[in-house]
Amino acid sequence: MKLRHLLLGTAMALGSTGAAQAAMTTPTGWYLSLGAGANWIQDGQIDEFGASGTPSTTNEFSWESGFIATSAVGFDFGNHWRVEFELAYRSNDADTFVASGTNLEPGAGIDIWELSQMVNVLYDFELGGNWSAAVGAGVGGNLVVFNPGCSGEFETENCNQDADDYVVAGQLIAQAAYRLSDRWQLYADYHFMVMDDAEVINPQDQELWQIEKTEHSLLLGIRFDLQRDGAAPPRVEPPVQVKGPKQFIVFFGFNKSNLTPEAARVVRDAAAAAKQYGSASISVVGHTDTSGSDSYNQALSMRRSAAVKDGLVGEGIPASMVSTSGRGEAELMVQTGNGVKEPQNRRATMDLN
């Protein structure tokens, strides 16, 4: 119970952390995912209680490796955060169990399957290249269906009749992912799930069975974005000297502040021009599109101007010559409404003075 409460508290803390972060950008959209893999139930107890509610028998169970299949529909908010609703089916057979200190026949035909419904909150972060990772937590419910078996001493007229219970459950998630394209992604997940003890009535003897269970799952899956998130950097021709030889413009991907190879070439051209013209200073101004809040976009525009300054310094321009500022979404190159992802507005200008 303490572990369950800790897990549920972690999930709530994760959600509140997201709210405390800088405001999220406009959603990058809906996605679907499917996964499958292996499921393990930790060795645990199934306690039996008689009709009067008094303890009858404590059974020590071990379980065979089983399988898990999942599906989820989610919403990616940008700025690393996403939320999803997940359905997961798990199934495991009993391996061996000990009742009242006596080893009984392996498994005795006992099995268990579950159908969980979870709301997961995940935080994504880049690992470089096409690789990324995520951590998260989820809370929800779990339908536990227990089959007491039908072999040996368990062969009764009521054998193989399922008993079930629905309990509160929570899970922690760790994920590694590889992006195949702008809309397809492969991922590997680890799930650690805990839940309230399920209480079922054994149809063979009408005793109450209390099932203690903790589970681990490893699975592979694929995710498909239902809409493009506009992450690819725009191609604008010509990429330099939009307003003459003393102004240069670089463009950025959606919610990005790193220089693309094309943007780095523009920065090199600007540095070479500054040396050629003997410029006394370079003014760098960052801009964003109208996706996201004003405060977030202001900070993003400053990060973009800082990235351009770092690039100029790397090309031999003294840092004291370069001033930076950010305009957020205040000065659009292409006029749009609020919440519009416009590639030409995601830019930084370099003015040579």
Domain 2-225 in CATH 3.40.47.10:
no
- Residues forming CATH 2.40.160.20 domain(s) in the chain: 2-225
Tens digit of pLDDT per residue, the chain (353 long)? 444 554 545 545 444 444 433 333 344 689 999 999 999 999 887 777 766 667 667 778 888 999 999 999 999 887 789 999 999 999 998 887 776 655 555 556 788 899 999 999 999 988 888 899 999 999 999 999 988 776 444 444 556 677 888 999 999 999 999 988 878 999 999 999 999 988 887 766 677 878 888 999 999 999 998 876 544 445 555 544 444 458 899 999 988 999 999 999 999 999 999 988 888 899 999 999 998 899 999 999 999 999 999 999 999 999 999 999 999 999 999 999 898 889 999 999 999 98
Answer CATH for 247-352 from 3.30.70.1400, 3.90.79.10, 3.40.50.720, 3.30.1330.60: 3.30.1330.60
| Cα angle value 135/84/122 (rounded, 5°) | 15
Report d(CA 211, CA 213) in Å as an integer.
Answer: 6
Q: Determine if the peptide bond prior to 343 is cis (ω within 30°).
A: no
- Beta strands 282-286 and 322-326 are parallel
- Residues forming CATH 3.30.1330.60 domain(s) in the chain: 247-352
Provide the total of helices (H) and of strands (E) in the chain, helices listed first.
3, 17
Report yes or no: 216 and 42 within 8 Å, Cβ to Cβ: yes
